[in-house]
Amino acid sequence: MRVLGVDPGLTRCGVGVVEGVPGRPCRLVHYEVVTSDPDTDLAHRLLNLDERLTALVAEHRPESVAVERVFSQHNVRTVMGTAQAGAVAILVAARAGLPVQTYTPSEVKAAVSGNGSADKAQVTAMVTRLLRLQVAPRPADAADALALAICHVWRGGTRDRIQAALRRAR
Amino acid sequence: MRVLGVDPGLTRCGVGVVEGVPGRPCRLVHYEVVTSDPDTDLAHRLLNLDERLTALVAEHRPESVAVERVFSQHNVRTVMGTAQAGAVAILVAARAGLPVQTYTPSEVKAAVSGNGSADKAQVTAMVTRLLRLQVAPRPADAADALALAICHVWRGGTRDRIQAALRRAR
């Protein structure tokens, strides 16, 4: 199963693609960070993200997309941008007909490190080890996106399959 | 100038199209509320909104789009849905190459009623009078979207023109 993980953000949006099956180490396919200048207007920032994510889906052809679920306890200004970037990521997946799953940060941390409150350095270290990389993926947004994708592969895409079955039934 | 106003919401998204020039009464072109079932998954709700707004832009060919700016003081759960729906509206406009402007609720209320803290009933009454309608637009989400569009026409689209000039310069 090939999964595209997205750690949404307006200024820096982490994207990671991995391939694997539940319970086995995953293989790194691609990672990058889509950036946008906070000084440009919101419409152009969202459009840029939409275009880049659409291109990445076309290029890497994931079977499903995992997006970090935005949380309320964060700073409200950040949450707004994260919610907007997350909406773009979910929309790109839906337009491509791909199932989308959201995960909370602690679900992702628990999946890759066994500890739901692991810090960024621990997540990066685990992602590096799990993907058997020589060099740690940088910046942390990219490592987080890869962790999301690994988390989704290991969860076995169960919810994806349920969603797909429900869609066919409708 | 023809303007499409959007009062973003995931469950109910108000849309209103008006035509006019600054300082004169506007003419109603269209209004509706795009709804989605809170029990369906987020991806389908965002996709449905994207498709419907894209169709409305194609049908009514506005020259610019006005979207209500989401606010932090609201309930956090609501804010997330509003931010996501707002992102879709802004993205639809940007994809169509249209300038987008956001307004705060109090800017809109002040523009149509002279009172930045007018209530929903007052806004609906003013929109009904300003568009010379026989029947008040319902529900309130539609009236809010029309108020946004009127506000943008009356502001003369100044910021639109500045944005367009900047875009040409880049």
Higher pLDDT, A163 or A27: A27
Q: Show the DSSP H helices in B31-139 as ranges.
A: 42-60, 76-95, 105-113, 120-130
Q: What is the bridge-based pairing of β-strands B2-7 and B12-19? A: antiparallel
Sign of CA dihedral A118, A19, A26, A163: positive
- pLDDT of res. A138: 92
Reply yes or no on whether A141 is catalytic: yes
On chain A, the residues whose CB falls within 8 A of the CB of B46 are 87, 90-91, 94
Q: What tokens appear for B114 in the block? A: 């002279």
User: What amino acid occupies position A21?
Assistant: V
Q: Which residue is closest to A73 within chain B, CA to CA?
A: B76
Looking at the partner chain, which of A46, A79, A94 has a beta carbon nearest the beta carbon of B87? A46
Q: What is the bridge-based pairing of β-strands B100-103 and B64-68? A: parallel
- The CATH number of residue B73's host domain is 3.30.420.10
Sign of CA dihedral B154, B13, B143, B133: positive
User: Is A68 marked as a binding-site residue?
Assistant: yes
pLDDT beyond 70 at A72? no
- pLDDT of res. A166: 77
Q: Select which of B7, B37, B51, B107 is catalytic.
A: B7
Number of CB pairs, chain A paired with chain B, less than 8 A apart: 79
Contact B17, B140 (CB under 8 A): no
Q: How does DSSP classify residue A77?
A: H
d(CA A106, CA A110): 6
Higher pLDDT, B72 or A45: A45
pLDDT beyond 70 at A159? no
Q: What tokens appear for B163 in the block? A: 């944005």
Number of structural domains (chain B) is 1
* Structure ipTM: 0.86
Annotated binding-site positions of B: 7, 68, 141
Contact B100, B27 (CB under 8 A): no
Q: Select which of A39, A63, A68, A107 is catalytic.
A: A68
Reply yes or no on whether B7 is catalytic: yes
Radius of gyration (Cα) for chain A, nearest Å?
Answer: 15
Match 């894209």 to its residue by tokens. B54
pLDDT beyond 90 at B166? no
Q: What is the largest CA-CA distance in chain A?
A: 46
Least confident among A123-132, B84-93, B148-157:
B148-157
Instruction: Please choose, from the candidates B160, B69, B166, the residue with its C-alpha nearest in 3D space to the C-alpha of residue B108.
Output: B69
Helix axes B42-60, A76-95, angle to 10 degrees: 80
**pLDDT tens digits along B29-56:** 999 999 999 999 999 999 999 999 999 9
Q: Select which of A19, A32, A119, A141 is catalytic.
A: A141
- pLDDT of res. B158: 64
Looking at the partner chain, which of A43, A93, A102 has a beta carbon nearest the beta carbon of B93? A43
Reply yes or no on whether B119 is catalytic: no
What's the rounded mean pLDDT across residues B101-128?
A: 93
Annotated binding-site positions of B for Mg(2+): 7, 68, 141
| Strands of B27-35's sheet in order across | B27-35, B12-19, B2-7, B64-68, B100-103
Residues of B with CB under 8 A from a CB of A: 41-44, 46-47, 50, 70, 72, 76-77, 79-80, 83-88, 90-91, 93-95, 99-100, 102, 163
Q: Domain of A76?
A: 2-169
Element (H, E) at A89: helix A76-95
